[in-house]
Each structure stands twice: as C-alpha cells, then as structure tokens.
C-alpha cells in the first residue's frame, strides 16, 4: 500500500513538462505583481513545496487565493499560479455572465492549462469529482465512504477513503488528516482511475490538500472572511472536534455504484493567450452540466438557487440536504 518515505528519484520525472512554456508562464505571472509565498513542508519522511497567493484588492471586493503543492518546486509554483489565474478568470466571467445563481458560483469545475483539451478535461474531472463526493455524502452520510488505509505520517494521521459512486472507472477520493495541533479535521479531495488505487500518485494531490492547512500551522486558524463560505467551512472543520471513527473499512462487494453517463455537458472555454496578448498558449475552461451537483452550502441558498438545485438533486434521488457537509 502507500507509505511516506523519501522516494527514489524525483516524482517530477513521471510528469511531462515543457520548460519553455513553464518559464514563460511563470515570468508572465510574475509581471502581474501578485505576491507568492513559498514554504517547504515535511510530512513524515516526505518533503514538498507549497506556494500560495492572496489577493485582497480585487475589484470584486472578494479575497482571491491560490495554492500549489508538489515535490518539484517549479511544478508547485505553476500549480499555484494557474489556480490563481483560474480564480481571477472565474470571477471576471461570473461578473458578466449570470449562468448559475450567485450562491453556486465557485471555482469548482474551472481549470487553466496550456492545452485547450487538457483544460477541458481537468475542468470536467474536478466538477465530476465534487459531484461524486457530494452525492455519496448526501445519500449515505459517512456510510458513503470506504476506508482504504490509515497512515501515520509524522505528527499527522491520514485516513484514505473512496466514495461509493464511480463514473467511467473513475472513483472519488476523500483524504482526512488528523493532527494534535487542531481538534478537528482537514480534508483533501481527488478523482482517480480505480486500477491506479495502489499507486502513490493516485492519492498525492488529495493528501497534500488535506495536510497543507495543518502543516502551515497558525496561518490557517485565522478567522475566515465572512464573504467566503468555503473558507469558513474549512476553518470550522479544522477547529471543531471530529469523530474519526466514522471512517470504516467496508467489505461489501456491492459498495461501489456506477453513476449514469452525463447526458449533457457544456464546456465554456476562453483563449487567455489571445485575451492577454501572450506569446505562449493558455486556456481556461469551465464545465457546466445539469447532471452534476455543484458546490454549495445550504445556509446561503436563496429561492433562485434552490429552484436551480431542485431538479438536479431530485435527479439523483436526493430529497434532503444537511445543514453542513465536508465536501468543500
């Protein structure tokens, strides 16, 4: 199974990189004068890089942040920069296009990439990932997740879980991280091919996401801004006592359920290179589908958003939603 020791060689060796594009992208991002913080984190025997941005003076008056973690420093920086651009483009797009109710407008289902095809694929993968996780929790609570492995990694205990809904041999990932530094839990999410279950790459992104908030220590316990419900919920779960015994193994051969194929998907794309007069390719994509449950919190929903959600939820046999959920 998975262990956290320093790997032989670099994980980046298995990642296809285009040095010229990477340098051009990072140089352009640097020209935007968006401050980027860098930290080196350690999880058990594994060290990795974490980059973050925080923009407080956006015209929308919303706080924008981006994050990127990887064992390769350059890739971590690119992930952070791309996520920041993704969220800036998301806010710009929704400010002019009210295609979904305001309470449902998040960066879920958005992606930025040098390849149009990969931007579209990644956008749809993220929207599918959150959908499968939300459906598992809304329909079955914690019973919708199966504990695959529990790992002690230094001061952090990791609970590696799979959701019970699959789509096209893809399965949703939920990693819960526990630390004595905090009374609660930090979550990370992912989507992977079932036949890659025993590879470290299958879990890595979700593990980093779950652990970043814990390993960054004091920086995550600052009260979240009132206009960002996701950050509020992350803060709540991290600082509220959590019962980790909810994560259980499940030997039921019928645990996994195949989701129906998507009947409709709209992929909204933008050529950011053309938009920004860049000399390298850059695209954004947003995946929208009436078959996929979007991210939301019940406490913020107004009648228009409830009307939008109602047929989507009923289409998945969901007739009651909890006041709070862990899929963020």
Higher pLDDT, 15 or 236: 236
Among 27-36, 214-223, 312-321, the minimum mean pLDDT is found in: 214-223
Residue pLDDT, tens place only, 68-123: 999 999 999 999 999 999 999 999 999 999 999 999 999 999 999 999 999 999 99
Assign 64 a pLDDT band (cuts: 50, 70, 90): confident
Measure the CA–CA gap between 38 and 18, rounded to whole angstroms. Answer: 22
Sheet holding 110-113, edge to edge: 110-113, 283-288, 266-271
Q: What is the CA radius of gyration of the chain?
A: 19
Nearest C-alpha neighbor of 99 from the set 313, 266, 280, 279: 266
Provide mean pLDDT across the span 250-267. 91
Q: Could you tell me which residue, 255 or 227, shows the higher pLDDT? A: 255
Provide the pLDDT for residue 56.
79
Phi and psi, residue 296, nearest 5°: -165, 165
pLDDT band (50, 70, 90) for residue 2: very low
The per-residue pLDDT of the chain, averaged, comes to 91
Instruction: For 292-303, write each residue's pLDDT tens digit.
Output: 999 999 998 999
What confidence score (pLDDT) does residue 19 get? Answer: 86
The confidence score (pLDDT) of residue 18 equals: 74
Indicate the range of 12-26, 31-45, 51-65, 221-235 predicted with least confidence.
12-26
Beta carbons of 185 and 211 less than 8 angstroms apart: no
pLDDT in tens, 184-204: 999 999 999 999 999 999 999
Q: How many CA atoms lie within 13 A of 31 on its CB side?
A: 8
Task: Provide the b/e sequence for 177-196 (b: ≥16 CB within 10 Å).
Answer: bbbeebebbbbbbbbbeeee
Question: Across residues 120-138, what is the average pLDDT?
Answer: 98
Where do the domains of the chain lie? 11-315
Q: Which DSSP string do the residues of 53-75 spell out, in sequence order?
A: EEE---TT---EEEEEEESSHHH
Flag whether pLDDT at 7 surpasses 90: no
Residue 149: half-sphere exposure toward Cβ, Cα within 13 Å: 15
- DSSP annotation of 149: E
Concatenating the DSSP letter of every residue in 274-322 gives HHHT-SS--EEEEEE-TTSPPP--GGG--HHHHHHHHHHHHHTT-----
- The strand pair at 170-179 and 156-167 is best described as antiparallel
Give the mean model confidence (pLDDT) for residues 8-15: 33
Cα of 170 vs its chain's centroid, Å: 16
- Note whether 209 and 189 are within 8 A (CB): yes
pLDDT value at residue 224: 53
Residue range 169-195: mean pLDDT, rounded: 97
DSSP for 154-202 reads TTEEEEEEEEEEEETTEEEEEEEEEETT-SS-EEEEEEEEGGGTTSHHH
């Amino acid at each position: 199974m998975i262990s956290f020791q320093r790997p032989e060689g670099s994980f980046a060796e298995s990642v296809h990189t285009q040095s010229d594009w990477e340098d051009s992208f990072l140089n352009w991002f640097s020209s935007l004068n968006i401050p980027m913080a860098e930290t080196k984190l350690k999880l058990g025997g594994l060290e990795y890089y974490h980059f973050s941005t925080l923009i407080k003076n956006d015209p929308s008056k919303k706080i924008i942040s981006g994050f990127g973690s990887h064992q390769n420093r350059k890739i971590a920086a690119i992930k952070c920069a791309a996520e920041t651009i993704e969220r800036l483009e998301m806010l710009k797009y929704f400010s002019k296009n009210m295609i979904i109710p305001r309470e449902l407008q998040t960066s879920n289902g958005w992606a930025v990439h040098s390849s149009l095809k990969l931007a579209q694929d990644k956008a749809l993968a993220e929207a599918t990932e959150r959908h499968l996780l939300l459906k598992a929790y809304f329909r079955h609570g914690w019973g919708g997740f199966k504990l695959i492995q529990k790992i002690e990694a230094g001061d952090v205990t990791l609970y590696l879980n799979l959701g019970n809904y699959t789509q096209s041999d893809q399965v949703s990932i939920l990693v819960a991280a526990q630390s004595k530094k905090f009374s609660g839990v930090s979550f990370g999410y992912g989507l992977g091919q079932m036949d890659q279950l025993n590879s470290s790459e299958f879990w890595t992104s979700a593990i980093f996401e779950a652990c970043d908030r814990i390993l960054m220590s004091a920086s995550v316990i600052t009260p979240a801004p009132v206009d960002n419900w996701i950050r509020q919920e992350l803060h709540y779960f991290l600082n509220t006592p959590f019962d980790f015994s909810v994560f259980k193994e499940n030997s039921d051969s019928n645990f996994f359920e195949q989701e129906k194929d998507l009947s409709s998907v709209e992929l909204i794309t933008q050529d950011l290179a053309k938009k920004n007069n860049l000399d390298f390719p850059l695209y954004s994509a947003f995946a929208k589908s009436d078959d996929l449950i979007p991210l939301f919190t019940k406490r913020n929903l107004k009648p228009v958003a409830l009307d939008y959600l109602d047929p989507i939820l009923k289409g998945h046999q969901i007739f009651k939603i909890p006041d709070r959920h862990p899929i963020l």
